[in-house]
Amino acid sequence: MAGADRAGGGPGAEPLLLGIRHHGPGSARAVRAALEAARPSAVLIEGPPEADALVPLAADAGMRPPVALLAHAVDEPGRSVFWPLAAFSPEWVALRWALEHEVPVRFIDLPAAHTLAGPPEDTGGPPAAPDGIRAEPPGGTHPGPDGAGAIGAGPGGAGPDGGGAAGDPPTRPGPGAEQAEPQDGGAAEAAGAAQAEAVDTTGTTAAEAGERAAADPVRVDPLAALARAAGYDDPERWWEDAVEHRGADSGDPFAPFAALEEAMEALRETCGAGGDPRDLVREAHMRLRVRAARREFGDGVAVVCGAWHVPALRRRTAVAADRALLKGLPRARTDMTWVPWTHRRLSRSSGYGAGIDSPGWYAHLFDAPDRPVERWLTRVAGLLREEDRIVSSAHVIEAVRLAGTLAALRGRPLPGLGETTEAVRAVMCDGSDVPLALVRDRLVVGDVLGEVPDTAPAVPLQRDLTRLQRRLRLRPEAREREVELDLRKETDAGRSRLLHRLRLLGVAWGEPAVSRGTTGTFRESWRLRWEPELSVRVAEAGGWGTTVPAAAAAKAEADAVAAGSLAAVTALAEQCLLAGLADALPVVMRVLSDRAALDADVGHLAQALPALVRALRYGDVRGTATRALTEVAAGLAERVFVGLPPACAGLDADAAQEMRRHVDAVHTAVGLLGDTPAAAPGGPGPGDVRVRWHTVLRTLADRDTVPGVVRGRAARLLLDDGGTEQEWAARVMGLVLSPGTPPTDAAAWIEGFVGDGGMLLLHDERLLGLVDAWLTGVPAEAFTDVLPLLRRTFAAYEPGVRRSLGELVRRGPAGGAGSGTAPSAGPPGFGAGLDEGRADAVLPVLGLLLGLDAPGAADPDLPAQGTRGVHGTHAGHGVGEDRTAAATAGSAPSARAGTETGRRRAAGDGGGVRMNAVEGAVR
């Protein structure tokens, strides 16, 4: 075999070219065997030459793969490239082998300086890009107009879990789009190809990749062409069967490389260079570096590179020609470092396009000394047992048998991941996909987290943070200090966003403090203090992204996916708005609506709604686009509306109180939601939400199975909101307080109806009459049961209200025994006609309140007397009066305190009922 001679010649005239598939455990094993056999004088690896200085770190005790080489532009940390390396990556194996044997290592690919310098909007992408092994194409992010908006760069779009594709802003230019692309359609092929190395779709736009796919399928996926030739429909499986699953039994460690090179050569002969000019540039650079290495270390050097490049490196070309190709490439100032990586991020399912969708399986294949299938299935059984599934050794035996037979049926040499997965499903999981998903998540992908020694150079995130701190003139100081931010100012808004983002990242530099002096939403107070360990936090957060916004967005997305409760996601949405992370919002919103849809507990939904609506209003203040938020909030409200009435049935006293609070919270939220103009387009209008809520309240108030306190509350809210007539309220109240209702229920209803202050009773004589009449009629034995409830209700009243109520009752209710007997002139509950003298007496105080020029000093006692005096006086004291007095009496209230309260209330925002009362008095 000619190829074997060339590749297997060992140290000789030709360098040892080891063509690999990136992240291929079989390749890794073969590389190690070949290096052991050849003992080269130097190892050259496909990767950025800037990383040469970082090579010794790979031998550091603190270094544990998976890790990634990260290159980023010094002035623009958002632009970065990653070269992830797992323990089973051939490059990593070669690197470690060289370090262990003290053989020099050189990276020979085109420098990252060139890769990062290419203008991202150039449709040709960067002039050269390292292929397959790179997970992340050059960040390709432009700073936003304000310079701080560079979001979603680097790994930002790829949180550990699925955030990547969704988080990618569609506007991201150039290569950035590529990472989202492998998820779908035609480019999925390209993704498979990227993973199979030879293919180099990374660093190009998705559109371009698509074009190339159409133009030259072989170049896009040469392995697919080989696999088709071998009769496989899936290139992955072909590679696994042909290369990865070959044991180390073949005698010649160079044979697989020779065979592969031959195949690649044949492919490249038929397809040419694949029509990608950047490949030529890269290969030219690699050739130059190999030449330089041979001058330095002699001929016995080994080159580890993607199989596709091997024929090109083998070819003899003129040095001058190669130099010419490399001439005039743009350069950028770049920095390199090692960053920790995870298996999850290696996996294709994170939208990353790194290459492999089963890093855990590959790691297992690489680590398992023998019998990989048996060991794998034993591990699966162990995992399932941990999760309390009954899996015995017999299951494992049967699964191994099934996997083996299935492989035989499919004509494969060994069971692969597909066969073992089928076996696990059929034997251990009862055919269910649910436990299988667990196996996939924990084992096939795996939770392996890499580590990088502390001595590794600083991550770009720190650099970005320093830059932002300088620009926003917010110096990190160990001394604690407070800053007041006016969000209407550009700089202050930027500071606020930065602090919020850092909080999301777990870098607690600033703590929000309570704003002093103002309650406006455009002000924020922060307590700042830079602790030394925060630098460590920044370094830890470096894995999330290279810029603060990108990292915060990625972290927020990951947090949203991992969040335990609906309320946590809502809070996160709020934080995202505060931090101006519009990029993270779609994912957070999606998680939120998913959670809301699946959450059967109306309580959770009701808790989530207020925060969401609050967030909506914040968003308005800060000019964030909140369209998505509005939709989610409306959807959430809709679910609450549907679920609330059934959820209110059959509650005990505590649960009923809880539900009452929920009803209150939803009511407030609906009020705010209804005010939001953004709710109008397309969806239900603002008025619609409120009308529907009123329907729900009405249902609650009318339904007998709903606890009294909730019904009373619903009736009250409806009344306050103008959603119903006072007549109706009186009727409902009359029904509830009629003898047919158990007194405890009635008392609970009263608590719900007037539990938040007695002003209503104070001003609606008729309702008070109803309560009074009912209380009078409660049988003696039931009265003791009812008393605590009533005391609880009335004790919460302010003393002045209590006192006024007591006086009212002593004087006797307006309507006598209930029905509105007041003459028709006044509004219901008020006495007929006006007492002019008393009304006049109110005027000075009213003028004072309204800021008019009031002649003469106001007597603070007057308004209370005035309003109170409007009600007629009635005779007819009875037992009821004493009882009501017993219920209302608390501490001894002074008339003075009562009027103070009255004034404060009138001066505040004032509910409709109260204002009506004052109006009535004035008229």
Partner 1 sequence: MSVSVDPTSVEPSRKHSASTPAGLSAATVAGPSGRPAAGSQQVLRPHAEDAFGAELAALAAQDDRPRPARWRLSPWAVATYLLGGTLPDGTVITPKYVGPRRIVEVAVTTLATDRALLLLGVPGTAKTWVSEHLAAAVSGDSTLLVQGTAGTPEEAVRYGWDYARLLAHGPSREALVPGPVMRAMAQGATARVEELTRIPADVQDTLITILSEKTLPIPELGDEVQAVRGFNLIATANDRDRGVNELSSALRRRFNTVVLPLPETPEAEVDIVSRRVDQIGRSLDLPAAPDGIDEIRRVVTVFRELRDGITADGRTRLKSPSGTLSTAEAISVVTGGLALAAHFGDGVLRPGDIAAGILGAVVRDPAADRVIWQEYLETVVRERDGWKDFYRACREVSA
- Residue among 214 and 600 whose Cβ is closer to partner 1: 600
Closest distance to partner 1 from the beta carbon of 312 (Å): 39
User: Two tokens at 288?
Assistant: 């130059």
56 binds partner 1 (CB under 8 A): no
Site for partner 1, residues 679 to 698, rule: CB under 8 A: 683
- Of 285, 500, 639, 694, the residue at the interface with partner 1 (CB under 8 A) is 639
CB of 396 to partner 1, least distance (A): 12
Considering the rule CB under 8 A, would residue 427 count as an interface residue with partner 1? yes
Q: At what angle do helices 862-870 and 912-922 cross, to 10 degrees?
A: 90
Give the span between the Cα atoms of 819 and 766, in whole angstroms.
7
Residue 398 binds partner 1 (CB under 8 A)? yes
| Contact pattern from residue 361 through residue 390 relative to partner 1, giving x for each residue in contact according to CB under 8 A and a dash for the rest | -----------------------------x
Instruction: Provide the minimum distance between the beta carbon of 354 and partner 1 in the complex, in angstroms, as a whole number.
Output: 25
- Rounded to an integer, what distance in angstroms lies between the CA atom of residue 259 and that of residue 667? 73
Cβ 323 to partner 1 shortest distance, Å: 52
Nearest Cα to 41, choosing from 310, 314, 302? 302
Does 585 sit near partner 1 (CB under 8 A)? no
| Cα–Cα–Cα angle for 157, 161, 162, rounded to 5 degrees | 60
CB of 645 to partner 1, least distance (A): 9
Quick check: bond before 66 cis, omega within 30? yes
Closest CB to partner 1 among residues 433, 477 = 433
- Here the tokens at position 201 are 């779709």
Three-class DSSP category at 826: coil
| Selected binder of partner 1 within 171, 250, 432, 455 (CB under 8 A) | 432
- Which stretch, 107-115, 237-245, 345-353, 402-410, contacts partner 1 (CB under 8 A)? 402-410
Per CB under 8 A, 586 contacts partner 1: no
How are beta strands 67-73 and 334-340 bridged, if at all? antiparallel
Please report whether residue 358 would count as binding partner 1 according to CB under 8 A: no
- Binding of partner 1 at residue 402 (CB under 8 A)? yes
In angstroms, rounded to a whole number, what is the distance separating the alpha carbons of residues 654 and 750? 16
Pairing of strands 80-85, 67-73: antiparallel
Exposure of 922 in the CB half-sphere (CA atoms within 13 A):
12
Among 116, 429, 573, 746, binds partner 1 (CB under 8 A): 429
The yes or no reply on residue 913 touching partner 1 (CB under 8 A) is no
Part in contact with partner 1 (CB under 8 A); list of ranges 144-152, 308-316, 631-639, 800-808: 631-639
Q: Which of 337, 348, 316, 87 is nearest to 193 (CA)?
A: 348
Structure tokens at 474: 């917010």
Choose between 591 and 917: whose C-beta lies nearer to partner 1: 591
Residue 851 makes contact with partner 1 by CB under 8 A? no
Percentages helix, strand, coil for the chain (3-state, rounded to 5) are 60, 5, 35
Residue pair 144/154 in contact by the 8 Å Cβ criterion: no
For residues 24 and 162, which CB has a smaller minimum distance to partner 1 in the complex? 162
- State the CB neighbour count (10 A cutoff) for residue 262: 18
d(CA 773, CA 740) in angstroms, rounded, equals 14
By CB under 8 A, residue 170 contacts partner 1: no
Mapping DSSP to helix (H, G, I), strand (E, B) and coil, where does residue 483 land? Answer: strand
The answer to whether 128 and 285 are in contact (CB under 8 A) is: yes
**C-alpha to C-alpha distances, 706 to 533, 645, 745, nearest whole angstrom:** 54, 8, 10
In the set 171, 270, 392, 873, which binds partner 1 (CB under 8 A)?
A: 392
Output 508 or 642, the one with its CB closest to partner 1. 642
Residues binding partner 1: number (CB under 8 A)? 34
For 56, 325, 329, the CA distances from 88, given in Å and listed in that order, are 19, 34, 33
Other residues' Cβ atoms within 10 Å of the Cβ of residue 836? 8
Out of 142, 395, 711, 766, which residue is the one contacting partner 1 (CB under 8 A)? 395
179 part of the interface to partner 1, by CB under 8 A:
no
**Tokens (6 digits) for 561:** 């996916």
**Looking at beta carbons only, is 93 or 391 nearer to partner 1?**
391
Place of tokens 């404060």: 904
In terms of CB distance, is 75 or 430 closer to partner 1? 430
Q: Which of residues 588-627 bind partner 1 (CB under 8 A)?
A: 593-594, 597-598, 600
Q: Which of 422, 492, 764, 765 binds partner 1 (CB under 8 A)?
A: 422
Handedness of CA 886, 890, 891, 895 (dihedral sign): negative
Least Å distance, CB 242 to partner 1, is 21
Nearest to 543 by CA among 177, 154, 203: 154
Site membership for partner 1, residue 216 (CB under 8 A): no
Contact between 702 and partner 1 by CB under 8 A: the answer reads no
User: Taking the complex as a whole, how short is the minimal distance between the CB of residue 609 and partner 1, in angstroms?
Assistant: 15
- The answer to whether residue 63 forms part of the interface with partner 1 (CB under 8 A) is no
Chain CA centroid to CA 722, Å: 39
Q: How far is the CB of 800 from partner 1 (least distance, A)?
A: 44
Query: Which positions touch partner 1 (CB under 8 A)?
Result: 390, 392, 394-395, 398, 401-402, 405-406, 409-410, 418, 422, 425-427, 429-433, 593-594, 597-598, 600, 635, 638-639, 641-643, 646, 683
